[in-house]
Amino acid sequence: MLLTIRTTHQPATDLGYLLGKNPARAQSFELAFGAAHVFYPEAGDDACTAALLLDVDPVGLVRGSGTLDQYVNDRPYAASSFLSVAISRVLRSAMAGTCRDRPELATTPIPLTARLASVPVRGGEGFLRRLFEPLGYELSAERLPLDETRPEWGDSRYFAVTLATTRPLSELLTHLYVLIPVLDNAKHYWVDDDEVEKLLRHGEGWLPEHPERALIARRYLKHRHSLVRDAISRLVTAEEPGEEENTASHDAEEQAVERTVSLNEQRLQAVVDALKASCAARVLDLGCGEGNLLRRLIREPHLTEIVGVDVAHRSLEIAAEKLKLDRMHEAKRNRIRLLHGSLVYRDRRLEGFDAAAVVEVIEHLDPPRLAAFERAVFASARPGTVIVTTPNAEYNVRWPSLPAGRFRHRDHRFEWTRAELAEWANAVAARHGYTVAFHLVGPMDDEVGSPTQMAIFTRAMEG
């Protein structure tokens, strides 16, 4: 397995100092699972590339561990937790950001391009983007064929991945160290009790802010549910709306085999998909909270205007921080706005949009206020499409951690069954000239349905 890191910082051969490896000679290191080689395919003043090549010894592994099956497949050539271990051993001081000969350079942002020759990716290119783009990487990914000599066999689940960025080398190495095992679905080479500490230490300064932090923790600490719970609770510092519900759902989820995508993510993805299907370009996120959906929407280039609305000032501030609005590139910044407003009052600023998402909001309204919400959204703002999600109360019996009769979040004023949502939504649609369709999101249960229900309203042609 091969990782290359290239810089055009000048003089580019300073990369040798940063890595603590002389560009003039190749070096090899013996690790428990094989050999790591560091060498420089190019080393000029204008550009310099370092390569870390890992030669995993499958036979040695088997001899050492006694557990052979999981290692006898792609382990020798695909990037995995072995590569992370090699980075942390062979490039230890570079990853820590220390450099004897160029101390100031170790903390200076420099142009870097990392290339992973072959990464197994469960979840495809979209998943790669969700991991690296929030960190500011420019990512390109190319899916590799199963066998180059046999194109008819089609594609594999391996990607060649290129990540371009300008940042200190230590940050790049740290991100790779944490995220490579997250991409890989195989059993990790390690996972020890102190992995939680390691994850938190290496995640410092970026992981708590990462929109996928829970998913990253779950996959990094693969198959160790008690560790995952510990890590997630320590990554979430401030309490967020919906977090309580997420914890409840995660507990249940962790018992389901091989569930790696949380309900929250599935729900947001379902909303993004529904928005795409509606062909909307100008969209509202009503009750946007801390911007979980907005962060995904801004990554959709076909959306030309994105407006988040919330009644909670503090939530909007957090959304602005998480979106990094103050540092956002101007072209992107011009596409997004946050508005302070209430959904139970008519608001002219919300008129004329193609679509609105109302994600996990209606259950926070007092039932007598629902009529005012209905007027504000369906009579006044009147977007072409309205996507409403809300808990399916029937599913609550399937959350082992939820006492009977309790709502999923203490601020919920009600939680509806599928029939109750249908009754409300059909009446709203009829009153305001919309049609409505219903969907379920999350693990499907024959009896009680899925944990989240979604109503998609489409405005009928007018005139």
DSSP notation for 172-198: HHHHHHHHHHHH--SPPS---TTHHHH
Type of residue found at 223: H
Cβ contact 4:19 at 8 Å: no
Cβ contact 222:188 at 8 Å: yes
Minimum distance from CB of 67 to ligand SAH (Å)? 41
Minimum distance from CB of 364 to ligand SAH (Å)? 4
Determine the Cα–Cα distance for residues 163 and 179; give it in Å rounded to an integer.
12
Minimum distance from CB of 386 to ligand SAH (Å)? 14
Minimum distance from CB of 342 to ligand SAH (Å)? 4
- In the bound state with ligand SAH, the residue whose beta carbon lies nearer, of 44 and 208, is 208
Residue 461 DSSP code: P
Minimum distance from CB of 228 to ligand SAH (Å)? 21
Determine the Cα–Cα distance for residues 340 and 18; give it in Å rounded to an integer.
47
Axis-axis angle for helices 169-183, 81-90 (nearest 10)? 160
Minimum distance from CB of 402 to ligand SAH (Å)? 18
Minimum distance from CB of 264 to ligand SAH (Å)? 8
* Residue 13 vs residues 8, 93, 162, 361: alpha-carbon distances, Å: 9, 17, 21, 54
Cβ contact 59:99 at 8 Å: no
Minimum distance from CB of 188 to ligand SAH (Å)? 30
Task: Report the residue closest to ligand SAH, judged by CB.
Answer: 289
- In the bound state with ligand SAH, the residue whose beta carbon lies nearer, of 214 and 361, is 361
- 145-33-192-199 Cα dihedral, nearest 10 degrees: -60
Determine the Cα–Cα distance for residues 286 and 315; give it in Å rounded to an integer.
13
Tokens of 450: 């899925």
Cβ contact 369:363 at 8 Å: no
* Residue 294, phi then psi, degrees to nearest 5: -55, -40
- In the bound state with ligand SAH, the residue whose beta carbon lies nearer, of 293 and 441, is 293
The binding site for ligand SAH (CB under 6 A) comprises 241-242, 287-289, 292-293, 310-312, 315, 342-344, 359-361, 364-365
